[in-house]
Amino acid sequence: MLSLHLTPLPTLTTARLILRELRIEDALDLFTMRSDPEVMRFVHRLRAESIDDAIAFITRAQDGQFADIAAQWAITLKEEGAGSEAGTCIGVIGHWRIEPEHHRGELGYTLAREHWGQGLMSEAVAAVADYSFGVLGFHSMEAWTDSRNAASMRVLEKNGFKREAYFKENILWDGHFVDSVVFGRLAPK
């Protein structure tokens, strides 16, 4: 079984991004993003209705991190937060579910709409995958996506994830059954 110590969560950097711990100060940015119907269209969770919903999201993320069963980073632009890690939270990425006994984690992510189509999420996924395999010692990672979310599937495929399963009408969401696709990736040998 993996022995994880996720507090404090390390800051990860890429060419354009700083991935840092989520903070209560991110609540307004998170509320703006998670209340956007387009951002949440393929996320099978209720949209944020208030700033309190965003605070609850951050609190759940922090609780999971303290228990060493989850790790969530705020995605910020490097140019905005250079040297201070103070950049605006434009997205969230991480593992809501880590199974130390199986050396695996489930990857999930969300990005504010104005930052779509720029390759930022592919960059963030690469950083989290490198950390998860190289530092945490994961053997595998999985990611579930709505079958209609072609952009998310491209992000995963660009990062070496392979389609492993397709579930027909397995989630009842917004009054309709939707299909899910499961992607997986093994640690590099």
Instruction: Dump pLDDT digits (tens) for 88-138.
Output: 999 999 998 999 999 999 999 999 999 999 999 999 999 999 999 999 999
Answer yes or no: is 34 within a domain.
yes
Answer yes or no: is 31 within a domain.
yes
Which pLDDT score, from 0 to 100, does residue 82 have? Answer: 53
Phi, psi of 90 (to 5 degrees): -105, -5
Answer yes or no: is 167 within a domain.
no
From residue 57, alpha-carbon distances to 13, 31, 49, 102, 175 in Å are: 23, 9, 12, 26, 24
Number of domains observed in the structure of the chain = 1
Which pLDDT score, from 0 to 100, does residue 45 have? Answer: 86
pLDDT band of residue 87 (cuts 50, 70, 90) is confident
pLDDT at 5 over 90: no
108 close to 96: Cβ distance less than 8 angstroms: yes
**CATH number of the structural domain spanning residue 103:** 3.40.630.30
pLDDT at 80 over 70: no
pTM here is: 0.94
In one-letter notation, the amino acid at residue 60 is: R
Which pLDDT score, from 0 to 100, does residue 52 have? Answer: 97
Query: How many alpha carbons lie under 13 Å from residue 158 in its C-beta half-sphere?
Result: 15
From residue 123, alpha-carbon distances to 13, 32, 49, 108, 143 in Å are: 10, 22, 29, 14, 16
Alpha carbons 17 and 123: distance in angstroms, whole number: 8
Query: How many alpha carbons lie under 13 Å from residue 19 in its C-beta half-sphere?
Result: 28
Answer yes or no: is 150 within a domain.
no
**At CA 67, angle to CA 62 and CA 72, rounded to 5?**
40
Q: Which domain holds residue 112?
A: 12-145
Answer yes or no: is 19 within a domain.
yes
pLDDT at 44 over 80: yes
Q: For the chain, give the percent of residues with pLDDT over 90.
A: 86
pLDDT band of residue 86 (cuts 50, 70, 90) is low
Answer yes or no: is 60 within a domain.
yes
